[in-house]
Structure 1
Amino acid sequence: MTEHPNPATTARRGRRPGANTTRQAILDAARARFAADGFAATTIRRVAADAGVDASLVMQFFRSKSGLFAAVMSVPPDALERFSIAFEGTEDGLGERVVRAFLAVWEEDARSSEPLMAMLRAAIVDDRANEQLREFLQERLIVAATASRAIDDAELRAGIAASMLVGLVVGRGIVGVPALTGADRETLVELVGNAVQGVLAPGSSGDDGRAAGPGLRR
């Protein structure tokens, strides 16, 4: 005699297991939304709607849009935190702190460097990935750089700093420019740090000491 499955048992077997599945549904929705709309246009509300959950639940899992993007790209949250911490404190030495943290995130820890490098390689050949990476880096620089200091032309300055830092990583990790791959990291931190200092915090200790343009409001 043919046995018929118990409908209740079938329902239980097909039931979504809860938080883990919900988190994955959010990640899947976010991945599709970031790919379709880019980082800037994607919102927590849109991702939540795509995943069929409340926006507060997305925030509960990932805390911010940057955290959600990082999870989608498999970048550990502590790597992003390390970069953000570099902006804490005074303007003195800001450039070197930022460059050192940036290189550490991109080169030291395979958990963060591998997905980031993969993202960077994709950005070189794919317009959509290029937009995501550019907007993500620039927004993180703007948010962190303006959190505790007043800076004119923040978007322009953040864009310049981001381009310098990404260019350094491209030269070392992708193109393999001998002068960069063979350079001691602290030498690069000092040289590039002075340049980043002049962009993000002109007139403070750590730049070349020349007169600053419209930058920090004194």
Structure 2
Amino acid sequence: MDDLMLSLYVLLVALLLAVLIFLLMRRAASRREEALAAYCAQNGYRLTTLREATALEIRIEADGWQLISSMRAQHNSSGSGNSGWRRETEWFCTKENPLRQTFALQLSEGAADFDRLPSWVRDAALSAVRRWLGDEMKSLDSVRAVPFSGARTSVVFETAPHAADAALEPLRFALQGYHGALPLYLESSSARVRLHVPGAAINSAEEADQLLRVARLLL
């Protein structure tokens, strides 16, 4: 009887702890949502949140651009059930600007000297990056690596060596202050601009602001 009571007591404590953790997480999530709504209202952005049983999408909009961040449940085809969440964040602007320079950029963790890599390793790495870029960007033949502080590297694709320097200089300072998820992919042309962060979803006003500080420089 004593063992049974002890087991019930342990089970009750575990249930209470689980409920407490759940309530604290819900409270923290609610505060983040309120802060994001206040941030959007303060800056004149339109905020839309779409909730489903297996998906959450946050959409922030202003004149000419949209930021869409989503989490969707992934189903394991082997039949073992959901295998996790697919996260993705994308910002894009389709407003044309004939003065906008054409280039693409990937910012990633780690410090890599592309010039010292064997050619087959370098080509394989660049091919992997190009798969995330739009068709218009895949024709950019000039490629160089730009080191960043904090053991981060940017791979830049241009029409010609240093052709995008005028656009990259202010962007470089903004990216130095970006501490969001990586890798980050950026595409710029006269027809449109796009930022893409695969594997990450925005959870706070701070994360949205960091990404938008970079994005607004491309308009």
Q: Which has the higher contact order (CA 8 A, sep 6+)?
A: 2
TM norm structure 2? 0.28
Per residue, is there more helix in 1 or in 2? 1
TM norm structure 1? 0.29
Per residue, is there more strand in 1 or in 2? 2
